[in-house]
């Protein structure tokens, strides 16, 4: 009887043990998960740092100095608070992203040490290469200020890790509203408003590579080269052609950007509000950048009748595609961005935009403008990479 009674109580005892809090499986919110968003963001920001540090990537020459000789020179006598602040602030996001990207492989002190060591090597390399650029000056003070920004960013990233990766309400919303493969896509979408900072001949006209290629070939071959003349050999281009080009470029790029967002969202997500917020953010950044880089009077000079027409046509197109299947939205986004790139690079140079650039003085914003130009050039190709890559599709 006793043996039977004991055998009968075993299942109950086993069930109580399994339901004990110490044996409960960890909830998804507490499981350590790597952040693809942080890792892709780190890679992209490193590319921005490299481009900004070596901008304008022309006039390379050997002045007979060793690339590391600047490290043993006296500190510069003349420096400005702007340069100091820019060098510190520019490396803060790099330090924060590096710490977040290392999670969960490395945490706390090991992550901080590796971030500082790798970041220091990066800034030393960036300054060393500037020895061969006539428009840049290698400086040991820049190394110190960049490292200071890196340390501040690493500390902020270590502090924010718990709230961003481990107990983040943003991550909960991301899982609730977006597909499982949306991490890289959210970086693409987040960079689109920032791509509006660099002045463009047409609203949302990103990816105009012919002028950049022409400048590089001119510097390399020491002969003036204008690749746009392959398509426009005459200068009597009508105004209607400029207006039509801007309508197509604005409508197609806006459609491609918004559909890149919508094709990642679940059916229960607030799609219309998110799309409207994305477009308004891009226009707000465009207005603020125009006011800062030029004059406050030029804040809305980009809002031409053709740009307004492009926005209207883009809104009509999106109205019919907002609730289309994600696959159809993805394919339409690819087509829209390809049309935008084709028209943008085949369109004639805009003389009105060239006259506006005369008021733009880059000056001390050289690093910032280099990063902004790089982002404006690469954004549509980055978006196309995301849209066409098989691993980014929802299973």
Give φ, ψ of 178 to 5 degrees. -115, 160
| pLDDT confidence of residue 14 | 39
Q: How many helices (H) and strands (E) does the chain have?
A: 14, 0
Asked if residues 222 and 343 have their Cβ atoms less than 8 Å apart, the reply is no
CA 337, CA 135: separation in Å to the nearest integer?
A: 34
Exposure letters 289-311 (e unless 16+ CB within 10 A, then b) = bbeebbeeebbeebebebbebbb
Instruction: Tell which wins on pLDDT, 314 or 81.
Output: 314
Nearest to 37 by CA among 103, 106, 95: 103
Integer-rounded Cα Rg, in Å, for the chain is 26
In this predicted structure, what is the pLDDT of residue 3?
A: 45
Taking residues 337-343, what's their average pLDDT? 93
Under 8 Å between Cβ of 68 and 128: yes
Write the DSSP symbol of residue 165: I
What one-character-per-residue DSSP string does 177-246 give?
Answer: HB-TT-HHHHHHHHHHHHTTSS--SSTT-----HHHHHHHHHHHHTS---GGGGT---S---HHHHHHHH
Tokens coding 72: 């043993």
In this model, does residue 182 exceed pLDDT 50? Answer: yes
pLDDT of residue 301: 82
pTM score of the predicted model = 0.64
Q: What distance in Å separates the CA atoms of residue 41 and residue 188, rounded to the nearest whole number?
A: 9
Q: pLDDT band for position 13 (50/70/90)?
A: very low
pLDDT at position 149: 92
In this structure, of 147-151, 203-207, 229-233, 317-321, the range with the lowest mean pLDDT score is 229-233
Average pLDDT over every residue of 215-234: 66
Six token digits for residue 178: 């977006």
pLDDT above 90 covers what percent of the chain?
Answer: 25
Cβ within 8 Å of residue 248, ≥6 positions away: 310, 339, 340, 343
Residues 360, 290: Cα–Cα separation, whole Å = 10
pLDDT attached to residue 168: 61
The yes-or-no verdict on residue 356 having pLDDT over 90 is: no
> What is the rounded average pLDDT for all residues in the chain?
78
Q: What is the pLDDT of residues 235-269, one digit of tens each?
A: 556 677 778 888 999 999 999 999 999 998 888 88
For 35-91, what is each residue's pLDDT tens digit? 777 887 888 888 878 877 887 777 778 887 888 888 888 877 777 777 788 788 889
Q: How confident is the model at residue 312 (pLDDT cuts 50, 70, 90)?
A: very high
Asked whether the CA dihedral 116, 117, 120, 121 is positive or negative, the reply is: negative
Confidence of residue 116 (pLDDT cuts 50, 70, 90): very high
Q: In the structure encoding, which two tokens stand for residue 150, read together?
A: 């890196």
The candidate with the shortest Cα–Cα distance to 159, out of 105, 101, 100, 119, is 100
Round to the nearest angstrom and report the end-to-end CA distance of the chain: 57
| Structure tokens given for 252 | 């197609």
List the single range of 160-169, 173-182, 338-347 with lowest mean pLDDT.
160-169
At residue 355, does pLDDT exceed 80? Answer: no
């Amino acid at each position: 009887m006793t043996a039977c009674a004991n055998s009968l109580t075993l299942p109950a005892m086993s069930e109580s043990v399994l339901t004990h809090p110490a044996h409960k499986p960890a909830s998804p919110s507490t499981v350590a998960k790597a952040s693809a968003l942080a890792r892709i963001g780190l890679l992209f920001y490193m590319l921005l740092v490299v481009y900004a540090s070596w901008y304008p990537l022309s006039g390379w020459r050997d002045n007979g100095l060793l690339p590391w000789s600047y490290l043993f020179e006296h500190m510069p006598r003349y420096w400005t608070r702007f340069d100091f602040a820019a060098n510190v602030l520019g490396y803060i996001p790099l330090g924060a992203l590096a710490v977040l990207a290392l999670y969960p492989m490395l945490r706390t002190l090991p992550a901080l040490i590796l971030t500082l060591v790798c970041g220091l090597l990066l800034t030393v390399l960036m300054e060393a290469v500037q020895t061969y650029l006539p428009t840049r000056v290698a400086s040991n003070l820049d190394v110190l200020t960049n490292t200071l920004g890196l340390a501040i960013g690493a500390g902020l990233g270590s502090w924010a890790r718990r709230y961003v990766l481990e107990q983040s309400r943003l991550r909960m919303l991301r899982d609730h509203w977006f597909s499982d493969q949306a991490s890289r896509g959210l970086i693409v979408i987040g960079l689109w408003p920032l791509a509006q900072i660099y002045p463009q001949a047409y609203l949302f006209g990103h990816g105009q590579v012919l002028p950049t290629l022409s400048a590089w070939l001119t510097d390399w071959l020491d002969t003036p080269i204008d690749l746009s003349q392959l398509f426009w050999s005459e200068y009597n281009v009508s105004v209607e052609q400029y207006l039509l080009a801007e309508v197509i470029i604005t409508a197609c790029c806006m459609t491609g950007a918004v559909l890149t967002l919508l094709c990642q969202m679940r059916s229960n997500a607030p799609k219309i509000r998110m799309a409207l917020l994305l477009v308004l953010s891009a226009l707000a950044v465009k207005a603020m950048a125009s006011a800062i880089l030029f004059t406050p009077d030029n804040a809305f000079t980009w809002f031409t009748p053709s740009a307004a027409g492009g926005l209207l046509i883009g809104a009509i197109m999106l109205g019919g595609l907002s609730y289309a299947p994600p696959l159809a939205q993805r394919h339409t986004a690819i087509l829209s961005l390809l049309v935008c790139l084709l028209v943008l690079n085949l369109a004639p140079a805009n003389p009105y935009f060239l006259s506006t650039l005369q008021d733009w003085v880059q000056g001390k914003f050289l690093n910032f403008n280099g990063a902004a130009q790089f982002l404006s050039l690469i954004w549509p190709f980055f978006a196309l990479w995301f849209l066409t890559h098989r691993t980014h599709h929802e299973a």
